[in-house]
Structure 1
Amino acid sequence: MTRQIRFNAFDMNCVGHQSPGLWAHPRDRSWQYKDLEYWTDLAKTLERGIFDGIFIADVVGYYDVYKGSNWHALHQAAQIPVNDPIQLAAPIALATEHLGIGITASTSFEHPYTFARRLSTADHHTKGRVGWNIVTSYLESGAKNIGEGGLKRHDNRYEVAAEYVEVLYKLFEGSWEDGAVLRDRDRRVFTDPAKVHEIAHQGRHFTVPGYHLCEPSPQRTPVLYQAGASGPGKAFAAGHAECVFVASPIKATLKAYVADVRAKAAAAGRDPRDVLVYNLTTVIVAETDEKAQAKFEEYQRYTSYDGALVFMSGWSGIDFGQYAPTDQIRKVETNAIVSMVENFTGSEKPWSIEELARWGGIGGLGPVFVGSPSTVADILQEWAEETDVDGFNLAYAVTPETFEDAVNLLVPELQKRGAYPKAYRPGTLREKLFGRGPLLPETHPAHAYRDIEAVKARDAALRSAAAAE
């Protein structure tokens, strides 16, 4: 049986996203990020291409590691200006029927109680097509601007994230029972108070005593996305994520990552196939290999050396502006995205700063595949077969052109090979992805919070035991 390939579209409510400088290309529309028409037009295109969803990245903060300031980030619109992602869920849902909407939000910058309401609201408005991309954030500037002075250490951020999702599971899964909402006009009873519970959470980082403000949404807990690739990040993904995004530039690294995440998921008592892994990839497709190569070379003329290194410095925490273009990348301990440096310093061939900037000029950290539909389909199928990856998180060089080329040229080729779906499954995003009910399965840790009274009794016993020691 031919292995199926899945696509997500990778975008951000900003200019340029992963391809700094290409906003200046005459066919690029990313500068229209602030207009709802850009998003609704794009969403319709992606739905026509049977994409699983549009995955909307986000950062709170700005890139100021490169040369010690945010001058180049502002100059090249390197993810600044940037607007809020969750407000795009409703208009995209109104413009489409099936497309999933993945929203990035950080556990470092918003209290879980207020965020739970925003996420449940989005799941209601989209009739269950929302996912949450769980990030812990890597920009010091964001933490400083909310008064925290700086980011917590990398591993500690995952400790906070673990408690953050525990609070959300209690709110989403346990606070309101099934059948709590009656809407009984005859008796004039909207909600049965006996079926709505305080969660009584008292943790190390958060205290949330009360009720969830929202009635259960179609998925209760929206689909959980996660993009951690470090040791703590992979452990977190294996325990919680349903869709995992990774940015591996080479097949060997991706294969090892996928195998490790699946093994960790199995060790956590989950079905390894309950974790869908997507690799960040950019495809430059045209009718022939020659036309695709010419298009790629055209795009390259708009890339920004400084803009690319703004991202690379921000992601890694290393100021690449202090090195000459010919200097080689060296591993430095930082508090940012640990896996990014490991990928480039752990490769067989040493990378120079100039090579890193050229690589990151289009599509960020993932590979760029250039060719005809047949050529690119061959490459994607080879990567899927050799690495066990489930799909690809497609970044753009020029938007919406890159996505339109994928939908109009690449998708039909994959469909002809039996390697890509021709229709959506019915139901919520979780049902479309996994072909079962709208709620998290019993093997997921969130399911344990459905009986919130038992959870509260357990938590109280643990606190009493700790106090007695």
Structure 2
Amino acid sequence: MTKPLSFSAFVMNTASHITHGMWRDEEGHQLNFNDVDLWVSLAKRLEEGGFDAIFFADVIGLYGDHRGGWDFHVETGLQIPSNDPIVLMSALAVNTKHLGLAFTAAPLQEPPFNFARRVSTLDHISKGRIAWNMVTSSLENAFRNFGYDELVPHDERYKWADEYVDVLYKLWEGSWDEGALLQDRESGIHAAPAKVHKINHVGERYKVEGPHLVSPSPQRTPVLFQAGSSPAGRDFAARNAEAVFIVAPDPENVRKLINDTRRLAIQNGRDGNDIHFYQGLSFVVGETEEDARRKEFELDNKVDFDMMIAHMAGGMGVDLGNVGLDTPLENIETEGIRSTFEWLKQSTPGRTPNVKDIAQMRSRTTRIVGTPETIADQLELWSNAGVDGINVINATIPGSYEEFIDQVMPVLRQRGLARAENGEPATLRHKLFGENRLSERHPAARYRGAFVSKEGIQQ
């Protein structure tokens, strides 16, 4: 039986996110990313069009050098300048009622106590529609921006993330018991002290006394996204994530990844269906197949493939700016994004990937070109492979999303691949999983009631 897919818009608060160079196109209104009205208008359009969420990527530093330096990034607008998406969440929250609001942040950029407070506040403002994409940051410059001499090794970053989320779970799930907030005017009791607890966390990186300063928000813990596909990343996702963002080269590879991650989740005491998987895809829509191919040809002539190489290679920590496009890429071992190279190998079966493949991986490998009907055919294949949702990558804002909403969504609804309507306002977790709070199988659940002694006194 066909099930509806969930749709999110994959964006970034910058001029050039993934399909690089398109800010120069007259339809590329992402050039106006500093204007909050652009994002409010887009969020409203996505909500009306049946999208479940808007998903903001983010970086906190420059990508690795290209042609020996970083001037290229500034000159071309390669994710610089870029603005903090967390700040933008408040504006989007008060201008929408149904749309989930997902943002990216790493342990590197903020201590867990203050991060927990900000996220809980946003969840209150949005009435429970916040999601956090848990990343570890892979950019050398990002770590130097926060006082480190170099990039922390890959697997060590995930150990760091383990303690970071552990502190957050204690604050979000354990610091306030259910029913602690009374707000009783007659008695004068605002909250019951016996139901509010310090967490007294002492770990390798953090000492946090608590209590959490924000009363429980509608979701308590935001919906937890994750995007790593290295062994350490998949293990982290299997234990912590509720939704995983993936960029697999084809449905067969995505099926293997999903099955493996769900197997790991079961090994960690969870249900395989506790995790949803969102495949990143872009679309070129035409009235006919010939029209679609013509539009794809025009798009490829506008995309800046040098920027594509700088983005992908820079994320892996290698400079390929002065290397020929046909140069084979042997196994790349870096402390950057290992998953990128793994996807690259899978997208070029039977041969060694080259520099040109890096440029084409994001722009073409995960692109679907065709009429609304043939696009629906392809999305059905992804759905049958186990994908729960699609993270829709844009070439232009708002054009890519308007085209998808107006032309593709009606066909998807006819086939049962998209929900018919928004329904009543609900938390994002309820929309995705049918409940407002984290499952009892999630590791955060162990902190519910964990800070009360047997006598019912605060610890």
The answer, yes or no, to whether TM exceeds 0.5 is: yes
Partner of 1:350: 352
Counterpart CA distance in 2 for 1:319 and 1:196 is: 51
Pairwise CA distance, 1:310? 1.3
User: Could you say what secondary structure the match of 1:283 adopts?
Assistant: strand
1:297-318: CA deviations, max 9, x gaps?
Answer: 2221221122111111122222
Partner of 2:259: 259
Partner of 1:163: 163
AA partner of residue 374 (structure 2): T
User: Could you say what secondary structure the match of 2:182 adopts?
Assistant: strand
Pairwise CA distance, 1:95? 1.9
1:341-367: CA deviations, max 9, x gaps?
Answer: 12223441333212322444x37xx60
Partner of 1:189: 189
CA distance 1:115–1:325, shift in 2 (3 Å) = same
User: Could you say what secondary structure the match of 1:133 adopts?
Assistant: strand
Counterpart CA distance in 2 for 1:110 and 1:93 is: 22
Pairwise CA distance, 1:56? 0.5
Matches within 5 A, 1:43-442: 43-346=43-346, 347-348=348-349, 349-360=351-362, 362=363, 367-385=366-384, 387-424=385-422, 426=424, 427-436=426-435, 438-442=436-440
Pairwise CA distance, 1:456? 12
Q: Is residue 287–residue 409 contact of structure 1 (8 Å, CA) maintained in 2?
A: no
Q: Is residue 344–residue 357 contact of structure 2 (8 Å, CA) maintained in 1?
A: no
Aligned length: 452
Q: Is residue 313–residue 358 contact of structure 2 (8 Å, CA) maintained in 1?
A: no
Counterpart CA distance in 1 for 2:378 and 2:208 is: 49
Counterpart CA distance in 1 for 2:405 and 2:211 is: 44
Partner of 1:448: 446
1:61-99: CA deviations, max 9, x gaps?
Answer: 011332232111111111110000111212212222100
Counterpart CA distance in 2 for 1:274 and 1:301 is: 42
Pairwise CA distance, 1:34? 1.0
Counterpart CA distance in 1 for 2:178 and 2:68 is: 53
Pairwise CA distance, 1:16? 1.8
Pairwise CA distance, 1:402? 0.7
Partner of 1:460: none
Pairwise CA distance, 1:52? 1.5
Greater shift after overlay, 230-239 or 182-191? Answer: 182-191
Partner of 2:7: 7
Q: Is residue 284–residue 295 contact of structure 1 (8 Å, CA) maintained in 2?
A: yes
Counterpart CA distance in 2 for 1:350 and 1:433 is: 39
- Structure 1 stretches lacking a partner, 5+ long: 458-469
Counterpart CA distance in 2 for 1:255 and 1:322 is: 36
Q: Is residue 47–residue 98 contact of structure 2 (8 Å, CA) maintained in 1?
A: yes
Counterpart CA distance in 2 for 1:179 and 1:195 is: 8
User: Could you say what secondary structure the match of 1:183 adopts?
Assistant: strand
Counterpart CA distance in 1 for 2:454 and 2:442 is: 19
Pairwise CA distance, 1:425? 5.1
Q: Is residue 90–residue 122 contact of structure 1 (8 Å, CA) maintained in 2?
A: yes
Greater shift after overlay, 180-189 or 23-32? Answer: 180-189
User: Could you say what secondary structure the match of 1:68 adopts?
Assistant: coil
Counterpart CA distance in 2 for 1:279 and 1:358 is: 17
1:111-142: CA deviations, max 9, x gaps?
Answer: 10111111111101100000011000000101
Q: Is residue 106–residue 134 contact of structure 2 (8 Å, CA) maintained in 1?
A: yes
1:221-255: CA deviations, max 9, x gaps?
Answer: 01101111000100111111111001112333212
User: Could you say what secondary structure the match of 1:56 adopts?
Assistant: strand
User: Could you say what secondary structure the match of 1:422 adopts?
Assistant: coil
Counterpart CA distance in 2 for 1:28 and 1:292 is: 19
Q: Is residue 108–residue 146 contact of structure 2 (8 Å, CA) maintained in 1?
A: no
CA distance 1:228–1:456, shift in 2 (3 Å) = farther
1:264-304: CA deviations, max 9, x gaps?
Answer: 11111111111100111101113222222222222212211
User: Could you say what secondary structure the match of 2:335 adopts?
Assistant: coil
- Structure 2 stretches lacking a partner, 5+ long: none
Please report the TM-score for the alignment, with normalisation by the length of structure 1. Answer: 0.93
After TM superposition, the runs of 4+ consecutive aligned structure 1 residues lying more than 3 A away are 454-457
Please report the TM-score for the alignment, with normalisation by the length of structure 2. Answer: 0.95
Q: Is residue 449–residue 455 contact of structure 1 (8 Å, CA) maintained in 2?
A: no
Counterpart CA distance in 2 for 1:279 and 1:433 is: 16
Q: Root-mean-square deviation (CA), in Å?
A: 1.7
Counterpart CA distance in 2 for 1:144 and 1:456 is: 46
User: Could you say what secondary structure the match of 1:237 adopts?
Assistant: helix
Greater shift after overlay, 185-194 or 20-29? Answer: 185-194
Pairwise CA distance, 1:49? 2.1
Partner of 2:16: 16
Q: Is residue 221–residue 438 contact of structure 2 (8 Å, CA) maintained in 1?
A: yes
Q: Is residue 100–residue 130 contact of structure 1 (8 Å, CA) maintained in 2?
A: yes
CA distance 1:455–1:86, shift in 2 (3 Å) = farther
